[in-house]
Each structure stands twice: as C-alpha cells, then as structure tokens.
Structure 1
C-alpha cells in the first residue's frame, strides 16, 4: 500500500488547487482521498469520519469540493470547539491551544493515526464505525 501525506502550502481557501494537482499527478481516485481538517462544530477532542457532505463553512474544504466538483470526498474532522463569544472564529483557529486543550489534542493523536490506518486498510465505512466518537466517551 502506498500512502501520500500532503499538507498544502497554499492559503487555506486555495487548498483545492493543491489537492486537485496531487490527485491528477498521482492518479488518485476520489475514494482513496482522505481530507483531514479542523472543525469548530465538534467539541475539542472529538473526531468524525464522513464519506461525503458539505464544507460546514470550512474554506479549505469548500475549495476542495469546488475544484473537484463533488462533495463525495471522505474526510476526517478534528474537533477544536467553538471560540468564546468575545473571540472571532478567524482569530480562534489561528491561535495556540491552551495547555489543557493541547493535552487533549496530544492524547487524541494516536486515535487519529489509527483512524487513518483503518481508512487506508479497511475503507471509509469501517473507519466510520470504529472511530466516530466523542472524547467524553473515552
């Protein structure tokens, strides 16, 4: 099994350009693509794997959907939670996590790695069944 891990170096709202070029160059089929991104709508520490869907307002995911022309893109969403009322979401996603938040994120990394491995080996349905959970359950 060959796996390519890519982190686009474009602006977030241009992520689709990098993904599109990568998929064309390596002849990657859509069902073999897994987009991983942060999500304000999930509590910090929660992960969700989906086969398809909208961008949920995420500019990078919207760019990918627009350039690929489909929303049937497997994705792994990493919860970062909503910002406090006095902080703009644009600023919130760019700032560093608190020590407590960082500890929670660090403890989640092994689960994310397992979920990605499951996606690669077993496919999206199995990875969804096994890894869609809330951190409070752990």
Structure 2
C-alpha cells in the first residue's frame, strides 16, 4: 500500500518558523524520527519511508501554500497513491494551539492551500489533520498572525505536539482514518 503525506507551508527561510509552516514542521519531525531525509524533487521536497510494510511518501510542496494542489496532484499520480491514502497536514486558526483535528473530507474552511487542493483534485474526499495555531490576533491582522513566529510558550510545547501529530500520521498509515480519528481527535 502506498501513502502520500503532505505538509503544507511556504518555502524560504523567512517562513521557516512561522505558524503557517506547521505542516512542514510536522513532516520534518516525522522524517527525523524515521531516519529519512528530504531531497529536492519536482514541485517540492520529498522523502520516502516505510511503516509496517507500507511505502510512505512525505511531501513539502515548493509551490507556495496557495498553489499546493499542483504538487499534490502531481505526486498522487507519480506515486500512484489512491486518494483515500492521501493525508494533508495544515494549520488552523480556529483551533487552540496544538489541537489535533482529523477529518476524512470536508470544506477548505477558508484555508487557501486546501482550497487549491480541492480545486485541482476535483474532490474534498481526502484526509486532513488540522494543527491548531490559535487565533489570538486583532481583527484584520490574520495574515500577520499566521506568518508570525511562534511564541516562547508555543516553542516549549512544540516537541510534545509534534510527537502527537507524528503518532497520528503513523496511525493513519497503520489502522486507517476512522480508528485514528477515534484515538486522536480527543487529545
């Protein structure tokens, strides 16, 4: 079985430690824990790992957030991964910091990366894990907030949250979306 795990973010050093790049951050943690590393390839940085007999491709698109669908569509086709084995990790301002919310389909929720993926795949029937980044910003400052740096408190809590998200990804690969949602959406 093949799986494609996509962490959304923006390329470039200026975005590396921003809230909007938490998808990249989760995949970096998973790659490190799995003793694999990313190489630059078409439309992104790609790593491959095995988990319980499954081939898992990790993708950090280089197309920038709002055009993520181009990379996702290409790598789904290139790896011949079925849509039900796609998992996208994305930031969410509607959830408190570090909250994990997994769904098997749904709207983009105002997230431009998911919107582009939905448009280019012609479907919203793929799994996604939302990483809560909180919404503690004044009205009209959403862009500054999501492209802002983590607070000191968030940085301290990040390692345990990253481990939780990595565990959820490996659970998705091992036991599927439904059982993973039951186990992880409560944490």
Which TM-score tier does this pair reach, normalised by the shorter chain?
over 0.9
Contact 2:63 2:71 in 1 (8 A): yes
- Does 2:121 correspond to 1:40? no
- Does 2:158 correspond to 1:105? yes
Q: Indicate the residue corresponding to 2:146 in structure 1.
A: 93
Q: CA RMSD in A?
A: 1.2
TM-score normalised by length of structure 2: 0.69
For this pair of structures, how many residues does the alignment match?
134
Whole-angstrom CA distance in 2 between matches of 1:118 and 1:57: 27
The alpha-carbon deviation at position 86 of structure 1 amounts to 5.6
Whole-angstrom CA distance in 1 between matches of 2:61 and 2:155: 23
Which 4+ residue blocks in structure 1 deviate beyond 6 angstroms?
Answer: none
Unaligned residue ranges in structure 2 (runs of 5+): 1-53
Q: Indicate the residue corresponding to 1:84 in structure 2.
A: 137
Higher strand proportion (structure 1 or 2): 2
Contact 2:85 2:126 in 1 (8 A): no
TM-score normalised by length of structure 1: 0.93
Unaligned residue ranges in structure 1 (runs of 5+): none
Higher helix proportion (structure 1 or 2): 1
Whole-angstrom CA distance in 2 between matches of 1:43 and 1:60: 20
The alpha-carbon deviation at position 87 of structure 1 amounts to 6.2
